[in-house]
Amino acid sequence: MLENKNSFYEEVTNKILSRKYFVDFTVEMIFFIIKILICIAIYLITLKIVKKILPLFKKASEKDSVMDESLKSFLGSIFNIGLHILLVTLCLLILGVKESSLLAFFGTLGIGIGLSLKDNLANFAGGIMLIIFKVYKVGDEVSISGHRGYVYEIDIFCTTIRTSNNDLVLIPNGNIVSNKIINFTKTPVRRLKFIISIGYNDNIEVARKVLEELLSNTPGILAEPVVYSHVEEYADSSINIALKGWCNNEDYWHIYKLILNEIKPTLDKANISIPFPQMDIHTDK
């Protein structure tokens, strides 16, 4: 038994130390290193070529609509992921991985990813629905999941909103399609609404008249539908008047801020007060 063991070790040692083994091992190692270098070269060169080509397509499509920008943003993210998967597959084939083993590996990997990333698959499906049904496009003013701003980018898994503070908010597409979405840009005209509080001792008709004149005489306010106002609420410390008018969508925020600046000076000229919350306390002696 001991002799068989020694002969085995001796045979293994002789094989390892043999010149043919070292030559074969060196040749295989050189070929393997060459394959790795080829894979790295293909990967880097392909990515560099794609980065050079993409700007050319963007320049050629500068006159496309904004909706096309939304679609390009969505398809661009799909293309980016697909390109990396394709390059990794090609590199594995160059390194000598068999096609059958690769298919089995990707099949198993796909099942595992599908089970572990089911929420992301829902986000992906949500992104496709947003593009197909044209819920919004890049540049639209929207309110989604309590976040209000402009659509900055539509990705395969999420939508990026740019707020008025220039913050970028990423919202998963799956959450978007299952919640309320307000698209303020869908219609060409938009209604302005202001709630103005006046005191109980002030004349409601005078207040309504000066407020309607203020809004009607503002450049950008549409003649139809006409500007109007009404009592919105009899509150604890004030009478709340709703002032409403219509303007083109692109003029909304300019007019909104302009009217806010002019409301108090206009009421002051008409001797209309803007009350503050107060409470009267009566005591019995």
Q: What gap in Å lies between CA 197 and CA 233, rounded to an integer?
A: 9
CB atoms within 10 A of CB 207: 24
> What is the rounded average pLDDT of the residues 147-172?
91
3-state DSSP assignment of residue 135? coil
- Give me the domain span that covers residue 252: 189-269
Which residue has better confidence, 127 or 285?
127
Residues 173, 123: contact at Cβ < 8 Å? yes
Residue 148 and residue 201 in one domain: no
Q: Report which residue type is found at 73.
A: S
Residue 236 and residue 211 in one domain: yes
User: 205: which 2 tokens?
Assistant: 């008709």
Is 61 among the domain residues? no
Residue range 81-107, pLDDT digits in tens? 777 778 887 887 777 777 777 677 667
Considering 35-44, 62-71, 169-178, the range whose residues carry the highest mean pLDDT is 169-178
CATH number at residue 232: 3.30.70.100
Tell me, what's the pLDDT at 1? 53
CATH number at residue 169: 2.30.30.60
Residue 251 and residue 234 in one domain: yes
Which residue has better confidence, 246 or 48?
246
Is 254 among the domain residues? yes
Residue 176 and residue 142 in one domain: yes
Is 110 among the domain residues? no
Tell me, what's the pLDDT at 249? 92
CA distance to 35, 61, 141, 257, per residue, from 83 (Å)? 20, 22, 32, 47
> What is the rounded average pLDDT of the residues 215-227?
94
Average pLDDT, the chain: 81
Is 265 among the domain residues? yes
Q: What gap in Å lies between CA 9 and CA 220, rounded to an integer?
A: 96
Q: What gap in Å lies between CA 238 and CA 101, rounded to an integer?
A: 77
pTM: 0.61
Cα angle, residue 141 at apex, residues 135 and 147 outer, rounded to 5° = 90
Is 30 among the domain residues? no
Is 259 among the domain residues? yes
User: 90: which 2 tokens?
Assistant: 């090609």
Is 28 among the domain residues? no
pLDDT band at residue 151 using 50, 70 and 90 as cut-offs: very high
Residue 136 and residue 176 in one domain: yes
In the chain, the number of structural domains is 2
Is 10 among the domain residues? no
Residue range 222-267, pLDDT digits in tens? 999 999 999 999 998 899 999 999 999 999 999 999 999 999 999 9
Residue 254 and residue 217 in one domain: yes
Q: Give 164's DSSP letter.
A: T
